[in-house]
Structure 1
């Protein structure tokens, strides 16, 4: 299993409170136990090493709605490998990494905003509240030794383009460095890729997300 994929799987499971990943010959299975997200199968290979025969074999074992499949190749390629009953997210995702050579300076919230960070259950969370007290931005981090997974980065539409995403990311990257991580990992979207790349993150592999609808 690819080292970065395994790091993402381990941290994501901690971040989301999922069951411990079960290793498979082709990757791993993670139980979520939620309506619409019962289980997810994550293939361990990336790029050209993610083979059609393996994807078809894993997908062919799925019979229940709400099971997800994560494959580290472009959706335009993987979509042709999946049969009837699979919904393919048309937007590609990205597995991204950041080496933690130095910790960012301690972030400060823009004037009027309130920044708060706390840790519980092995997960560090940070949030920004708007001047009126409403939610503005958030994110969380799950360190798992030498790597730490950044997860669920969100900014309210009313508060975008104000640098809040950068504050959230710097807060989490600093927390990862302080907790001994050497590399940060995340699964990003096209909307977030520009922010992450501006902060030094690089794309390791494309990511296809597919859900079996029955």
Structure 2
């Protein structure tokens, strides 16, 4: 593969916004270069996602310039097979590089391995609309690990997979992913999509998730708030 397809990135974004109850992302002009999401978080008010970084490299420079000039604090997320070239572009635009080693990953959910944690952990699964949340609780009832997955058509987008530091190395991350995949497949999803942090890459790889592209994340200059 010489590029990551724009359609694949857009499918992930459709699920990511659903998983986080965000408005549907809107096109960034010129049309087709990227999508813009209203995140409404402190220090991350808006996020722009590049769609054609590999097939139209000049599009990254245009998006980076727009992020640098934004009136609200804006992030730029770029899935790419050419991370060094993208890094040079975002630095030239005076953006702050936040993450260099995140991965865009996919899997066939129908072949996802299943794992269950040892006692005393108990699983809770809740579904509301397109989103299923899975959590594992310890014997005191505290949440030891959690994650969510949003089903959009035949895609399922996993997000916010977390294990409490006191409960790591006990198979809970694998158990969360297994439960999420099982729930999504039961709702008709066939393809899993996610963006993996450096910490999560080994876990997802061990479960059969495939690396499709690197993901670089940069931030524009902080914008002072006016009251």
TM-score (norm 2): 0.86
Equivalent positions of 1:163-202 (< 5 A) are 163-202=171-210
Q: Find the aligned partners of 1:92 and 1:40 in 2 and give their Cα distance.
A: 18
What is the distance in 2 between the residues matched to 1:29 and 1:90?
19
- Deviation, 1:203, is 0.5
* Mapped contact 2:109–2:192 kept (Cα < 8 A): yes
User: What is the alpha-carbon root mean square deviation over aligned residues?
Assistant: 1.9
1:59-118 CA distances to partner (integer Å, 9 max, x unpaired)? 21232342111111355432211245521124311000001234655x544201121010
Unmatched 5+ stretches in structure 2:
223-227
How far, CA to CA, are the matches of 2:160 and 2:75 in structure 1? 18
- Give me the whole-angstrom Cα distance separating, in 1, the residues matched to 2:86 and 2:13: 20
- CA distance in 1: counterparts of 2:17 and 2:35, whole angstroms: 11
Q: Distance in 2 between matches of 1:50 and 1:192?
A: 29
C-alpha spacing 1:168/1:50, structure 2 compared with 1 (3 Å): farther
> Residues 80 and 131 of structure 1: is their aligned pair in 2 closer, same or farther, counting only changes over 3 Å?
same
- Equivalent residue, structure 2, for 1:44: 51
Q: How far 1:16 sits from its partner (Å)?
A: 0.8
The answer to whether the Cα contact below 8 Å between 2:107 and 2:208 also exists between their aligned partners in 1 is yes
Give the TM-score normalised by the residue count of structure 1.
0.90
Aligned residue pairs, count: 211
Determine the structure 2 residue equivalent to 1:61: 66
Q: Is the 8 A contact 2:65 2:93 kept in 1?
A: no
CA-CA distance at 1:200 after TM superposition: 0.7
Partners of 1:76 and 1:33 in 2: how far apart? Answer: 29
Unaligned runs of 5+ in 1: none
Q: Distance between the aligned counterparts of 2:85 and 2:71, measured in 1?
A: 24
Q: Secondary structure at the match of 1:110?
A: coil
Q: Deviations over 1:124-161 (max 9, x none)?
A: 00011122322211000000001110111011111111
